[in-house]
Amino acid sequence: MATMIAARLHAYGSPMTLDRIEVPEPRPTDVLVEVKACGVVPNLARVVGNFFGTLTPDNKMMPPLPAIFGLDPAGVVAKVGEQVFSIRPGERVYVNPARSCGSCKMCRNGRELDCPSFTLQGYFGRSQDIMRAYPYGGLAQFITAPATALVKLPDNVSFEAAARLGYFGTAYSAMKKIGVGPGHTLLVNGASGQLGLNAVQLALAMGATKILGTGRKQALLDRVKALAPERIEVLSVPDAPSRPSSASGGGQGGGGPTNPDPLVVWARSKTEGHGVDGMIDCLPPGAPAAAMMRALLCLRRGGRAVNVGAVLETLQLNAFWMMTNRIGLQGSVWFTTGEGEAMAAMAGAGTLDLSVLEHRVSPLSKINGVLAGMDARDGGFTNFVIDPTRVD
């Protein structure tokens, strides 16, 4: 096939158009993948609407136009470069879009996610050079990518499920950083959303003893709890106090409790009065900082938190409380190909259950409608997928 169909954006804030372009040739260390499914993240609507352009007016974080987006592609290897030795045409793969320069200090030390040029193929990033080198996102019938980016898929993992690995991987890499595992109690803040639901699924697979989940809609939280009723507890928290007191979560240094937050009281009641070992914050951009802060205050002394959500407001964080209670807080973005392989192995073994995802598959021609209708979803259970093999 000499040409292919791709959904391309010609102007930020405008709809994508279906264009016929040449099928790319893989370079010596790259592969050509025929895309069978591409996950669509809700944030893509903000990206193509020039959200990051408003933050960085020079648009250096955005791919040059016309651009092909699509963050989570899965498909079949169609062709390999002459220096690719362990990947074969016909293999089923997920393409990790994480790209780095490969030669800086961070990359040479195996820390590609910390590369100053870190870029997400088919999305946005810090390097225009990388975006020009890998201009094909998953909203196209074929893409090229480095052979090192491929996660081989077990036979029992569908392309539609694999197109959700971006969310799974983001949660998995983050939870590894805070030591989630047997004996661990974890609070997932925003457990019924797309990131949060996947965090709960992975926490179960990683052996967490108790998982506490928050959300706004009780019906969705009930479905989350039903995944493992003996290990999961949920609480609907529709409103967050505008200024949560650090003392309400830090009676061991930072003053005595004053007007304890109901969420903190609940979390301690489920953990013998101590608080949770870890917290992963999965809240979306529009969530208030207070909603993240109240979850942080649920940590026990020595607890660790990681943020993979996108709360934009500034936290009102008491540094004295953090210090005296030995609290750890860090950010985490995306995941390595090795972590993707680990998740694929868990799914292959059945310890990571992907069956709860409800795939909503649309042809490539419907991408603009999909982006416009993403608010009509059943929390994190809905998995939006584009099938580029269909352009009807």
User: Per residue in 265-291, pLDDT tens?
Assistant: 999 999 999 999 999 999 988 899 999
Residue 360 · residue 382 · CB < 8 Å: yes
pLDDT of residue 253: 42
pLDDT-based confidence at residue 60 (cuts at 50, 70, 90): confident
Give the CATH class of 3-164+357-387.
Answer: alpha beta
Question: What are the tens digits of pLDDT across the range 171-219?
Answer: 999 999 999 999 999 999 999 999 999 999 999 999 999 999 999 999 9
Question: What are the tens digits of pLDDT across the range 63-120?
Answer: 999 999 999 999 999 999 999 999 999 999 999 999 999 999 999 999 999 999 999 9
Burial degree of 112 (CB within 10 A; 0-12, 13-18, 19+): buried
**CATH for the stretch 167-331:** 3.90.180.10
Question: What are the tens digits of pLDDT across the range 119-173?
Answer: 999 999 999 999 999 999 999 999 999 999 999 999 999 999 999 999 999 999 9
One-letter amino acid at 341 equals E
Q: Given this chain, do its domains 3-164+357-387 and 167-331 carry the same CATH topology?
A: yes
pLDDT of residue 56: 55
The residues facing 150 across adjacent strands are 95
- pTM of the full structure: 0.93
- CB contact set of 233 (below 8 Å; sequence gap of 6+): 210, 211, 212, 213, 225, 270
Domain segments of the chain: what residues?
3-164+357-387, 167-331
